[in-house]
A and B are shown apart, each in its own frame.
Chain A
Amino acid sequence: MERFFGYLVTGLANGAIFALVALGVVVIYRVSRVINLAQGAIGVFSAFVFHYTLMGDFGLPVAVATAGAILVGAVLGAGVEKFVVRPVQSRGALATLTATTGVLLLLTELTVQLWGPNNPVIASVFPDTLVRIGNTGVTVHQIATAGLVILLAGGLYWMLAKTWVGVGITAIAQDPGAARIVGLPVRSIVTLTWAIGGASAALAGLMYIHLNSLDQISLTFVLISSLVAAALGGFNSLPLAGAGGVAVGLIFSFGQGYQPVAGIGQLLVFIALLGVLLVRSNKPTLDVVSEF
């Protein structure tokens, strides 16, 4: 039972991060019909900027550096949209997907080129003290991560449902042509969405490197997990994507915990994905725009 709670907490904390990345993927997909494969890489790059440049070189306080890293993520997201995705968008879904693949490879390699292949040991923003819940020790950081993600997901949801920008995003998602005619600044909103996606990815990256060591393998795993989560919601539904992220985190945590074989988590996630795809793809409504 003790182990169970331990794995549960780890799974929830990691799953929250996957959910955050997945939310960014879904928001971007809704307005521009592009799967941003570079989402995880943006998060990692921002996290490294946070650690080496903002904290290391500039010696900024943690709060300021965190804000700076999120800004870096937002700028990266917007930049990818403006300078990579938009120019190739007219050439079809294949080209945009490949372009985001290129950005993924570029950012990952840039990270290694700039800061070396060694994984940084990063001090957590939140204290690492243990809190006893029943018999299990949970770090404050894990609780804070989960709480922050719930807060952020809620904020994102509120923004999309209630604010002017959110209504604009929904309008563009449903009919870009009509949105343009009504006078919405479609291009700016699309870029803004990518910036939001980038920012959420940066935040996820920051929290991930505090929880786990970061290398290229775990990066691809963040990417895969969040994409699987987003696919669960048909790239359209924010709640489903969030739930998917948490589910992937739990599958991975329990699999690795109870069956400590190398790569068992990846295998289980792959099998789960195949199952989900088989069930979901029976429905012909994958591309139909649903409400949030």
Chain B
Amino acid sequence: MARGVQAGVDSVRDAADRGVRLTGGPLMNGKALEVGTVAAIAIGLLVWPLLTPQVAHFYGSLSAIYALIGLSLVILVGWTGQISLGHAAFVGVGCYFGAKLLNNDVPLVLTVPLIGLIGAAVSLILGIPSLRLRGVYFTIATLAFGAACQQYFFTRPEVRGIAADQVPRADLVGIQTTSDRGLYYAVLVVLAIALVLAYNTRRTDVGRVLFAIRDSEQAAQAMAIKIAPYKIGLFAASAALASIAGLFYGMLFQATPAPEQFSVLQSLFYLAMPVLGGAEALLGALVGGTFLAVGQPLVNMFDVRLFLVTSIALLLTLLSGYDGVTGALKAARKAVADAVRGEPVRYGSFVPHEEVDHTPPRVHATVADSPPPVGSVVRVRIVPGVRS
């Protein structure tokens, strides 16, 4: 590795000596495109309920709730490379405990963070023993956890409450949630906050450490990173998001659903979201959530089961080789950008890294008339020995 890095540094130094200046990509600026896309999506999400009949608002709310669950799985699967097959249990925790808090007149604005804390606390039951667990052992632990929750804890009357307990629809700081449209906006606010938090976490040191752990635990360990706190912390955050989604799930149905709604199969169904939408991009959660929520009324028209369609879609997505819908879009965008700009210039082992968007802008070498001014800062990211 060290030799590769040295060669890369040498070639950059070489390039600088020959008057090559390193700049950001001049065409199809990635940042502008990204901001534009996000703005367009945000406006679309805000405006559509005003144009559609009431019946669509229920599925809108459901999409937003699923998107929240999807986000919790995107950060778990996409950021740490761990799969949870028991996430529906956290949704259940949020739903049942949320009903308890709301029925005791705790305001919604307090209930949301409280449920997040409860979900995170419950996740520690799993997270702490999994301190030393890797990959599939963790997955099996989540599976057994999901089954134990569904079969044991959620059947307890103290947890679930009496059958079909009413869940009140409280206000979220002025947003009325008595209508499905209002509830949709309330969930959207929470979802937006979660997305912004996640987006910013990705760009901090914590985010970089998480990606380092995902790419190679051994390498991260060799760099004296303590892995366990990061993994447990992220799992707790993921569980908190899923629990908050569960709180709104109960509010949407205005009842505490039967434990079968939080079964292991339901967890597998939720796992389709990061796969279908794409686990690399946060927006994959929105795509996956909408797919699952809108899928129900669509498949009702043909006498097919939604889980069946979802599982086929999941397998086809995996076989397609793209990282879900957002991955396919990204690949398409890159193909267009490359066609417009041509291949980036490469020097030795110094190659701009193309798949990762949580780094400084893509670096391209362009030949300048004069050497770069003394003292100017050139930011480069060197990927040792990946290609050419």
Contacts and interface: CB of A to CB of B under 8 A. Distances in A.
Contacts of B305: 109, 112-113
A263 B307 contact: no
A127 interface: no
A151 interface: no
B275 interface: yes
A113 B268 CA distance: 17
B271 A87 contact: no
B175 interface: no
Contacts of A115: none
Contacts, number: 137
Interface in B129-167: 129-130, 132-137, 139-141, 143-145, 147-148, 150-153, 155
A289 interface: no
Contact of B314 (A98, A110, A265): A98
A269 B269 CA distance: 23
B265 interface: yes
B139 A106 contact: no
Contacts of B1: none
A264 interface: yes
Contacts of B304: 113
Contacts of A133: none
Interface in B246-296: 263-265, 268-269, 271-272, 275
A216 B318 contact: no
Nearest to A33: B136
Interface string A279-290: 001100010000
B234 interface: no
Interface in A217-233: 217, 220-221, 223-224, 227-228, 231
A109 B318 contact: no
Given A97-B136, A99-B315, A102-B311, A266 B148 contact: yes
B152 A274 contact: no
A273 interface: yes
A277 B133 contact: yes
Contact of A97 (B139, B152, B263): B139
A216 B263 CA distance: 10
B264 to A, nearest CB: 4
A123 interface: no
A282 B310 CA distance: 38
A166 B252 CA distance: 55
Contacts of B132: 278, 281-282
Given A220-B264, A228-B140, A281-B132, A98 B318 contact: yes
Contacts of A200: none
B319 interface: yes
Interface residues of B, number: 45
Nearest to B148: A270
A270 B144 contact: yes
A16 interface: no
A108 interface: yes
B373 interface: no
Given A231-B137, A267-B151, A269-B148, A105 B310 contact: yes
A106 B308 contact: yes
Interface stretch (A6-14, A50-58, A70-78, A88-96): A88-96
Contact of B275 (A98, A112, A228): A98
Given A105-B265, A109-B308, A109-B311, A263 B318 contact: no
A273 B129 CA distance: 10
Interface residues of A, number: 49
B207 interface: no
B314 A274 contact: no
Contacts of A192: none
A262 B151 contact: yes
B265 A102 contact: no
Given A84-B315, A98-B83, A224 B151 contact: no
A241 interface: no
Contact of A227 (B140, B145, B269, B314): B140
B81 interface: yes
B32 interface: no
B310 A263 contact: no
B158 to A, nearest CB: 13
B319 A281 contact: no
B151 A113 contact: no
B141 A84 contact: no
A94 B81 contact: yes
A49 interface: no
A101 B265 contact: no
Contact of A216 (B129, B265, B308): B265
Contacts of A262: 151-152, 155
A183 B132 CA distance: 39
B259 to A, nearest CB: 9
A124 B308 CA distance: 30
A230 to B, nearest CB: 9
Given A84-B318, A110-B308, 9 more contacts: A94-B77, A97-B136, A101-B314, A103-B311, A105-B310, A216-B263, A263-B151, A266-B150, A267-B152
15 contacts: A84-B315, A88-B318, A88-B319, A98-B275, A101-B83, A102-B311, A105-B311, A220-B264, A223-B143, A231-B136, A263-B148, A266-B148, A273-B141, A281-B132, A282-B132
A-B interface, 4 closest residue pairs, ranked by CB to CB distance from nearest: A263-B151, A263-B152, A105-B311, A270-B148
